[in-house]
Structure 1
Amino acid sequence: MADHIPFSEAPWLSGSPSPYYNDSHKEWQRYCRDFITENLTKHAMQWENEGAVPEGTYEKFSAANMLIPNLPAPLPVEYLKKVGIHQIGPVKVEAFDSCHGSIYVSEIIRSGLNGPASSLCTGLAYGTPPLLKFASKELQERVVPDILLGKKRICIAISEVEAGSDVANIQTTAKKSECGRFYIVNGVKKWITNGLWSDFASMCVRTGGPGAGGLSVLLVPLKGQKGVSMRRIPVSGQKCAGTTFIELDDVRVPVENLIGREGEGMKQIMTNFNHERLTIAVKVTTQARVALSTAFGYCMKREAFGAPLINQPVVRHRLAKAGALLESQWSWVESFVYQMGRLSEEEADARLGGLTALAKAQAGIVLNECSQCAQLLFGGNGYTQTGQGELIEKISREVAGARIPGGSEDVMLDLSVRQLYKNYQRSVKANL
């Protein structure tokens, strides 16, 4: 058995047998650990304190094809090979599956800090899939190659001041010009991760009447586009993720930039959410693991009342409660990752949509518990922005960023049960 601090590694990395991972996954994990540690993890604290990931880091990841794993599996093999990407580290693109993707997501947040990882990953991970799934061939060929090669950057732009989890209430409008060649976009987008440095946004806009049926998704040019202004939004955590406020004032977008058809925006967004929420669940559960294992390590060396903290029953009780939640959540998330890799996209959307929302919500709850546990056990150090507890203090400020974006916790809990009930009703009706 590997000599790891308890809870610091997923069970399969601590020597426990697992039905999910084969030799390819193990080799991929080692490759990810080495590459990401060298190029991100060991710098993450400094970059988060500085509020920016250095220019060139995105290009370094892109040159190694190490941004491609942010896309949902199976990967867009045809496009990847067309632009010369046949392999990512030791894995051929056609062999890359959902478990490879989960391993990457977990490794990229091993620092415990979401900001540096999100600065590289979020826009590509969530902004590209709508293009790959729904855009016309012409639009795909015009923009997808540059995105895959890292020459252009993209983000997903859904949230607004009055429309976060309530997507159907989006107010940003896209009306056709008199000549019929452009959409004229007006409105604002808020809390858009990576917006500051994105060339494009896969943007949810209102092309029709009120409600979900009036929504569409449009590829909107951002950087250097007339009528677009962007500014950074200061947030509690994830300082270097580029959280952005976007204002759109009569922005002219070619009608060819419509992704799919008018009125299909809600369907596209909901399909995209499954990938987003499962990715968040993996990432946040790993972040909880970092918090709890860091606390465990601290309790083994920190002495109080003449003995290490780990000798105190109340300390062991806190670690045990948080650890049980963590490992239960991790096992649940692993099962989702496995299922995603073995169901068709249509089956996964129907059967797992509500459950991935629930897993995303539960991940935030588990992070909250592990973060609180760690901060209490670190005592004053866990409340201090420097020194031994610096990482724990930073993680505590990222808890809200795990529980709100991607669908706020209460909305996700309600959505999950409504979806499960709806599936049950369909099943009963089908069997009558």
Structure 2
Amino acid sequence: MSDPFETEERQALRESGRGFAAREIAPHLDDWERDGLVPRELAKKAAAAGLLGVGYPEDVGGEGGSLVDSLVLAEGMVAGGASSGVLASLFTHSVAVPHMLRLGTPDQIERFVKPALRGEKIGSLGVTEADIGSDLAATRTTARRDGSDFVVNGSKMFITSGTRADFVTTLVRTGATGPGGLSILVIESGTPGFTVSRKLDKLGWRCSDTAELAFQDCRVPVENLVGPENGGFVLLMHQLMSERLSLAIQACGVAQRCLDLTVAHTKSRITFERPLISRQVVQHKLVEMRQRIELARTYARAIAARYDAGEQLVAETCLAKIAAADACSYVVDQASQLHGSMGFMRETEVERHYRDARIFRIGGGASEPLADWAAKMFGYTA
């Protein structure tokens, strides 16, 4: 049976991503890490190269293709030296615009989706709140209808690209408590009452800006409502499946990159007059690293292909992300160890991946609540 991830076209796409990352990202990444920002120009370069719109319909300004195409592109970019932090920043629109693609109005497509895919506007997703985390049904930020506007009050925390965003696709409470009272509003930067409270400092993903946002009597036009009022939770849950698959594939890509770097290092590193890779304990570690990557990646790719074919796989996408995050955590740790003291140095690429990889077990839904949701879906509850 042919692998949908390894068609001739997708191999070429993967190579395009690898080349773009090697040229436009890897040489500058250390500077971006120090600056705490990915320059806006990178999005325009990616759009000009035909990469920013991969997986999006041509009639909304995309390059065509499907989720699998976007995942293949991510694999290639990581292989070319891009970090998961760069991907989070460059492709933030992947979590900001799908809701509009699914149920948005033509006006929303023109004002937000098309400019984002051209690299002209940066979109962000405002969901998480302090003390809520993965419990999205407990969202407290409110949006009260007042004539032709919604008046928004509340705050959002840990928002990727929040300091640079031109618009934030925001989960708000428009109705009663629980998931049935949630809606999605697009809130534009510059709207009175919308402020970036602070830029957050992080362990990893340091090149990707992360913000706390505040809304105080922020008036948002009703036409910025995405989908039906009080229908935001279902819309968000659909998008989260693709986000978790993306994170799973990225985690596997990072793990593969670290394995490749470690194999090269252990071949060139001479200790006690022998290459490090000549020692059995090192060989066994490398085999274990590869085994964990292959198992996690095979499962994640299989679930992604089924999702691409139209299956609803809430529980399975949770498992794919958990497995990939765990595999990546193990591999980056072993990669750092096998690099020795250099694995602890900022000048070594595996050091950055070691820090960045920690987010895979938290972002897009932490592993523990994902396991809880999977258990409920499978009927493994009392």
Shared fold by TM > 0.5?
yes
- 1:119 corresponding residue in structure 2: 89
State the shift of 1:202 in Å: 0.9
Paired residue secondary structure (1:106): helix
Q: CA separation in 1, counterparts of 2:4 and 2:215?
A: 49
Question: Is 1:174–1:185's contact at 8 Å kept on the other side of the alignment?
Answer: yes
Which residue of structure 2 aligns with residue 404 of structure 1? 362
Q: Do the aligned partners of 2:96 and 2:169 also contact (CA within 8 Å) in 1?
A: yes
- Provide the rounded CA distance (Å) in 1 between the counterparts of 2:5 and 2:202: 37
Name which of 6, 14, 22 aligns with 1:29: 14
Counterpart AA for 2:194:
V
1:378 to 2:347 alignment: no
Whether 1:226 aligns to 2:192 is yes
Is the radius of gyration larger for structure 1 or structure 2?
1
Which position in structure 1 is the counterpart of 2:70?
101
RMSD: 2.0
Runs of 4+ in 1 over 4 A off after TM superposition: 17-20
- Give the match for residue 7 of structure 1: none
Map 1:265-414 → 2, pairs under 5 A: 265-341=232-308, 343-344=309-310, 348-349=311-312, 352-386=313-347, 390-414=348-372
Contact 1:162 1:169 in 2 (8 A): no
Cα separation, 1, equivalents of 2:174 and 2:230: 7
Name the % identity. Answer: 28
Q: Which amino acid aligns with 1:63?
A: A
Structure 1 unaligned regions, length at least 5: 1-16, 425-432
Q: Distance in 2 between matches of 1:411 and 1:67?
A: 31
The separation in 2 between residues aligned to 1:19 and 1:157, in whole angstroms, is 33
TM-score, structure 2 normalization: 0.93
The separation in 2 between residues aligned to 1:142 and 1:118, in whole angstroms, is 22
Question: Could you say what secondary structure the match of 1:331 adopts?
Answer: helix
Distance 1:131 1:30, change over 3 A: same
1:368 is displaced (CA, Å) by 0.7
What amino acid sits opposite 2:191 in the alignment? Q
1:29–1:393 Cα change, 3 Å: closer
CA distance in 1, matches of 2:142, 2:234: 18
Instruction: Measure, in 2, the Cα distance between the counterparts of 1:274 and 1:327.
Output: 21
Correspondence for 2:29: 44
Residues 285, 77 of structure 1: CA spacing in aligned structure 2 closer, same or farther, 3 A cutoff?
same
Shift of 1:112: 5.4
**What are structure 2's unaligned runs of at least 5 residues?**
none
Q: What amino acid sits opposite 1:324 in the alignment?
A: Q
CA distance in 1, matches of 2:220, 2:191: 10
How big is the shift at 1:20?
Answer: 4.4
Question: Match for 1:119: what amino acid?
Answer: S
- In structure 2, distance between residues paired with 1:97 and 1:229: 35
Per the TM alignment, residue 263 of structure 1 is displaced from its structure 2 partner at its CA by 1.4
Q: Report how far residue 285 of structure 1 moved.
A: 0.7
What is the rounded CA distance, in whole Å, between the counterparts of 1:367 and 1:226 in structure 2?
Answer: 42
| Match among 151, 165, 182 for residue 134 of structure 2 | 165
Query: Which amino acid in 2 is paired with 1:117?
Result: L
TM-score of the superposed pair, with normalisation by structure 1: 0.83
Please say if residues 48 and 116 of structure 1, whose CA atoms lie closer than 8 Å, have aligned partners that are also in contact.
Answer: no
User: Alignment length, in residue pairs?
Assistant: 378
Distance 1:400 1:31, change over 3 A: closer
1:76 and 1:132 in contact (8 A); partners too: no
Q: CA deviation at 1:183?
A: 0.7
1:67-106 aligned at under 5 Å gives the runs 67-69=52-54, 73=55, 75-80=56-61, 88=63, 93=64, 96-106=65-75
Inter-CA distance 149–200: structure 2 relative to 1 (3 Å threshold)? same
